[in-house]
Structure 1
Amino acid sequence: MMRDYETIEADTALDTVMRSVAPLAPQTVSTFAALDMVLAEDVFANEDLPPFPCSSKDGFAVIANDTTNPRRLIGEQTAGYIADLQVEPGTCARITTGAPLPPGADAVIMVEYTQEADGMVTMETTVKPRADVRPVGQDIANHQQVLAAGTRLGPQEIGLLASLGYTSVTAYPRPRVAVLSTGNEIVEPDAQPAPGQIRDSNRYTLMAAVQRCGAEPVSLGIGTDRGDELTALVMQGLSTCDALVTSGGVSMGKLDLIKPILETEGQVHFGRVNMKPGKPLTYATVAGKPVFALPGFPVSSLVSFELFVRPALLRMAGHHLVLRPRIPVTLATTLQGDNGRPEFHRAQLTREGGNWVARSTGMQSSARLLSMVGANALLTLPRQDKSFEAGESVMAIMLDYPESEPYPDPS
């Protein structure tokens, strides 16, 4: 018989989740496959950059204090090799951007300030020693720490690693997340539903959400309402992946089998959350791996993912910042209050007159996925009988902005 679960608050549920997940074991990965992954150790330069004094401009390599004018052109130094040149008083060498500075020279004069004729170069201005010369180690010194553990690898960090010869790094891996839809009424999107059936949207919505937060989705397909089949799929997913996300089968019906399976195979930490949408949300651990059993209604499923699954997957991937920014916004229209449960109301935010203004996406039915289309915020509406009036300020979770807040480390 299914347990009767106490309804807990959303903050308590999130705390329970975040205290039970930890970063995955670091792995050595290709630098060029590590975009958006998190470094697990500090990175130090193993050479100077630049490794030789070089020109930062196209021009002529000269001795700055030489007063000879014009000077004899003795040759050319371009990037990529070392020419057999020695700059002495009365001479100069043509040089290109990035090319090594020839021995004897200590400055570069830009070509714009010179005149060249018959093998002689006339300088129209003077230069100081080291002018337009990049010294050894100007950018990076040998043994300098260039990246710290915990850094999220963006394009610039990957380029930096490449410039130092790091073709692999130690980073936290992307969590592999098994995704399972449940229900006899569910068919694949390319199928024609029979009477009483609907196409599966949840699995594809959730796999996209998994991918968007930097994890790797693994489809387990559709599980029918048979306990043995669902148990086999749950255990298959957990045997090959780091986490499992299911949708459907978590309410109180006879065929809602996910909770009893999780009770048998692992530990259910909560099975009901005081929130709208998403009340039947269930969280368990099986063999030490997190299992998120989300409600079957599409909006309930996606909102639950955003609030609980995404922060957990980010922590597993080694990220420190795991919570979306929350800001005060002004309501453009009146919204009905709910005295039963706090609501995460889907809304569109626009910037107007220096303030963020929120507009509802329309009917907020848990089954209406269209209410999430175009939404860039979840309004966090506390439970209350009265309406939230136009012009009133409420808090909003910014869905289109990167995470900006850490979750406190478990004590």
Structure 2
Amino acid sequence: MEKLALKAAILIISDTAFQDPSTDKSAQILTDAFSKEGGDQWSISDRTIVPDDVIAVQREICRLSDGDDAVNLLITTGGTGFAVKDNTPEAVHPLLHRHAPGLVHGMLAASLEVTSFAMMSRPVAGVRNKTLIVTLPGSPKGAKENLLAILKLLPHACQQAAGGDSRALHAGGIRKLERDAGVTNKQPSQHAHHHHQHDHVHSHGGHVIPKAHTRPEDRPVSNDPQAGPSNRHRKSPYPIHSVNSALNLIYKNTPPPEASVVAVNTDLVGHTLAEDVTAGEAVPAFRASIVDGYAVIVSADAPSTPGVFSVASVSHAAAGEIPELQRGEVARITTGAPLPPGANAVIMVEDTLVKSTTADGKDETMVEILTGAVKPNENLREVGSDVNKGDVVLRRGEEITSVGGELGLLASVGVSRVSAYRKPIVGVLSTGDEIVSHDREEPLRLGEVRDSNRLTLMAAVRGWGYTAVDLGIAKDRSGSLEEHLRSALRSIDVIITSGGVSMGELDLLKPTIERAIGGTIHFGRVAMKPGKPTTFATVAHKPLSGDRNSARDRLIFSLPGNPASALVTANLFVLPTLQKMSGKPAPWGLPRMKVVLREDVRCDKDRAEYHRVGLKAGDDGRVWASTTGGQRSSKVSSLKGAQGLLCLPAKDGMIARGETIDALLMGSLQGL
């Protein structure tokens, strides 16, 4: 076999080494093994350390195996045992397009020659795109043993994975391949042959190797789109989760909110503050009158004196120079205007009379004060009496609303920029060959369905206060789905799809997410009605700039295609996720309230149900719930007038009219 230059990368997976790289010993040992035993065929192009975190591992795997600069071989070390944080197999397995169980068997066989504890390792090997990926133990000794067991065969595997001509590579037969690779043909011993007759064990050097009854490639997590309808799953391979379990998985895998400095204007409405806001100025910034009247000078032991006084000046709310007031003078003043220098009280206009005016009669020149009871500081607002400079006026986690006056408060205290959390951008995609645009003028052909989901979901997202981007309709072809999803991943934080998540041969979203774009599906079924096939996935996003520090995982919610299912699951799962990403404090999601049933409602014995209802506040102070009718998930009319979702438990039987039950509020109440 011709010796070619092959690029290899080493990925160290360890919390300890991530915190202190000097503690890692495996990387150098593996590099030396490539150099001494690799026959001058390898160059180590990348050595990276990541923590024991599934998403962090997957992000690096995608970086190293996707694109034109992908490496030929990616070796990982660490995280293959049974410890709680050993998640490397779980991170790698979903990203593989093809599995390589032979390499796994070879590594285990070599390790078992040394110690029976090799059975405690869980290696994975396979190909992603054109990159061969092999996971090794975290122990430097074990990692080297495993690598040396397969190293001489890896160039051939990498050439094939890269698209080499198999006919040319295999010319001369297996003996020539063995000679080129520098390996010897291992003839089975009589002892080994004897044990090979048994179904469950093989013997190597006196150690027993467990033999699984299924192969890794026979345990897929999603349908293979290339396998055809006869080979698709007859039962979903995804475990079913409760609603609470699904929400916990979503929260665990939702990226933390991102803060940025933004201008104080109407675009700030709907954002949540990332930091406390302090007043830049006092309010009021000057001593101001709270009434229309006359500014005067009084003392504590000498309240205002009734009598006739000269009007020395006028103080309006408009800015300007105001002369200092002298004893025996008064100054006309309007509400909110600053007190003239020297004045310390205001007499209401109702407690005065005009005694003389200017020639044109427009302004008074002399006024009579009728009361002697006005004391110092009466009818005044002191500097900072509303807000002192430096006071905290809004707290981290508070939302800027359109009705709460937060914008006015910020403006009044001289704050022009604040730190606020960015609101995620949401893309909405419909899927299916049968789906056509809702506004297409041509009549429907047999089997076609107008797209109501995209319109409904985008309206819901915008009603929640987020930007919704129309991603169009993707056909039931993996290439079309992959193209739409990859395009959206460049700029969209959260992708909502509807359709394509059930068990049919054309339900391709799960395999496209897992196999084509390297996503991780965290759940694929939920024990709820409607919405059982609801799917949640994350995709490790590698920005075009190559800056790994700015990478931010993308979220995909694949909702069922039936209209009621799509809207219900969007409210239950997507809304709280957007709120969490926006920095809003928990609890997230629709507000929960107690309602009284107007009619009997039957429960489902196996699944919790979210029953669409209209809500109306009664004269008795209680909120009454009325069903919107048949609750079939495909029944669009059940959404009309639905302001809430009854939270029906999974049980056999009815909940009777007049009973009180929890409901989630989707809209405004009637009767208020």
Measure, in 2, the Cα distance between the counterparts of 1:42 and 1:387. 49
Q: Contact 2:647 / 2:663 at 8 angstroms: preserved in 1? A: yes
Q: Which residue of 2 aligns with 1:381?
A: 648
Q: Show CA shifts across 1:150-188 (max 9, x none).
A: 110124111111122323221111110111000111111
In the TM superposition, 1:256-295 aligns within 5 A as 256-264=507-515, 265-287=518-540, 288-295=553-560
Q: 1: distance between equivalents of 2:528 and 2:633?
A: 12
- TM superposition score normalised by structure 1: 0.94
Matched, 1:323 2:589: yes
Question: Which residue type is aligned with residue 337 of structure 1?
Answer: C
Is 1:198 matched up with 2:453? no
Match of 1:305 in 2: 570
Structure 2 Cα separation of the partners of residues 346 and 18 of structure 1: 25
For the 8 Å contact 1:181–1:222, the answer to whether it is kept is yes
Q: Secondary structure at the match of 1:138?
A: coil
Query: 1: distance between equivalents of 2:645 and 2:277?
Result: 38
Segment of structure 1 superposing worse, 239-248 or 124-133: 124-133
1:183 correspondence with 2:416: no
Give the secondary-structure state (helix, strand or coil) at the position aligned to 1:233. helix
Alignment of 1:1-16 (within 5 A): 2=223, 4-16=237-249
Q: Take 2:242 and 2:349, find their aligned partners in 1: how far apart are those partners?
A: 70
- Displacement, 1:269? 0.6
Where structure 2 has 5 or more consecutive residues not aligned to the other structure, the ranges are 1-221, 224-235, 357-364, 541-552
Match for residue 121 of structure 1? Answer: 367
Does 2:381 align with 1:134? yes
Q: Counterparts of 2:589 and 2:476 in 1: how far apart (Å)?
A: 35
Aligned partner letter, 1:162: A
Question: In structure 2, what is the Cα distance between the partners aligned to 1:47 and 1:355?
Answer: 46
Q: In 2, are the aligned partners of 1:68 and 1:89 still within 8 Å (CA)?
A: no
Q: Is the 8 A contact 1:69 1:90 kept in 2?
A: no
Matched residue SS, 2:642: coil
1:38 and 2:275 matched: no
The match for 1:211 among 440, 452, 462 is 462
Quote the offset at 1:208 in angstroms: 1.3
Partner of 1:53: 287
Deviates more, 1:62-71 or 1:107-116: 62-71
Conserved? CA contact 1:68–1:90, under 8 Å:
no
What is the CA RMSD across the aligned residues, in angstroms?
A: 1.6
Would you say 1:341 and 2:625 are equivalent positions?
no
| SS state at 1:159 partner | helix
Aligned-pair CA distance for 1:5? 1.0
User: Which segment is superposed worse, 264-273 or 205-214?
Assistant: 205-214
For residue 220 of structure 1, the aligned residue among 464, 471, 495 is 471
Separation in structure 2 between the aligned mates of residue 258 and residue 218 of structure 1, nearest angstrom: 19
Q: Aligned residue for 2:561?
A: 296
> What's the counterpart of residue 200 of structure 2?
none
Tell me what 1:164 maps to. Answer: 413
Q: How many residues align?
A: 402
Q: Once the 2 structures are TM-superposed, how far is the Cα of residue 67 of structure 1 from its aligned partner?
A: 2.1
Name the larger-Rg structure. 2
CA–CA separation in structure 1 for the residues paired with 2:392 and 2:604: 53
Return the offset for 1:30: 2.2
The one-letter amino acid of 1:169's match is V
For the 8 Å contact 1:175–1:313, the answer to whether it is kept is: yes
Moved more, 274-283 or 73-82: 73-82
The amino acid across from 1:107 in the alignment is A
Cα gap change, 1:18/1:401 in structure 2, threshold over 3 Å: closer, same or farther? farther
Counterpart Cα distance in 1 of 2:662 and 2:340: 63
The alpha-carbon deviation at position 68 of structure 1 amounts to: 5.4
The one-letter code of the counterpart of 1:204 is: L
Q: How many angstroms does 1:299 deviate by?
A: 0.5
CA distance in 2, matches of 1:136, 1:15: 50
| Partner of residue 504, structure 2 | 253
Q: By how many angstroms is 1:47 displaced?
A: 1.8
Report the structure, 1 or 2, having the larger strand content: 1
Match among 82, 90, 94 for residue 320 of structure 2: 82
In 2, distance between residues paired with 1:15 and 1:397?
A: 18
Cα pair 1:66 1:90 within 8 Å, conserved: no
Aligned mates of 1:379, 1:66 — CA distance in 2: 67
CA distance in 1 between partners of 2:424 and 2:465 (Å)? 8
Q: Which residue of 1 aligns with 2:184?
A: none
Q: TM-score with structure 2 length normalisation?
A: 0.58
- Report the more deviating stretch, 177-186 or 193-202: 193-202
On the 8 A contact 2:571/2:590 being kept in 1, the answer is no
Structure 1 position 82, deviation (Å):
3.3
Deviation by residue 1:307-341 (Cα, 9 ceiling, x = unmatched) = 01100001001101413332332211112222132
- 2:585 counterpart letter in structure 1: H
Q: Which amino acid aligns with 2:249?
A: T
Cα deviation code 1:40-87 (max 9, x no counterpart): 111111221111111111111011334251111112111222344222
Equivalent position SS for 2:637: helix
Per the alignment, residue 397 of structure 1 pairs with 664
Other structure's SS at 1:210 match: helix
The whole-number CA distance in structure 2 between the counterparts of 1:131 and 1:221 is 66
Q: Is the 8 A contact 1:82 1:100 kept in 2?
A: no
CA distance in 1, matches of 2:322, 2:556: 67
Q: Quick check: 2:264–2:415 contact (8 Å CA) kept in 1? A: yes
Per-residue deviation, residues 277-306 of structure 1 (Å, max 9, x unmatched): 000100111112211000000100000000
Supply the distance in 1 between the matched residues of 2:568 and 2:465 (Cα, whole angstroms).
Answer: 18
CA contact (8 A) 2:521 2:537 kept: yes
Alpha-carbon distance in structure 2 between the residues aligned to 1:232 and 1:183 = 14
1:68-107 per-residue CA deviation (whole Å, 9 max, x = no partner) reads 5111111211122234422222210101112110012101
Q: Write the distance in 2 (CA, Å) between the matches of 1:113 and 1:4.
A: 85
Residue 67 of structure 1, aligned match among 305, 308, 314: 305
1:401 CA displacement: 6.5
Q: Which moved more, 1:277-286 or 1:148-157?
A: 148-157
Aligned to 1:408: none
Residue 141 of structure 1: SS of its match in structure 2?
A: coil
Deviation at 1:274, TM superposition (A): 0.6
Give the distance between the partners of 2:592 and 2:471, measured in 1 at CA.
Answer: 34
* Aligned-partner SS, 2:570: helix
Q: CA deviation at 1:354?
A: 2.5
2:256 to 11, 23, 45: 23
What are structure 1's unaligned runs of at least 5 residues?
A: 403-411
- Residues 202 and 298 in structure 1, CA contact (< 8 A), matched pair in contact too: yes
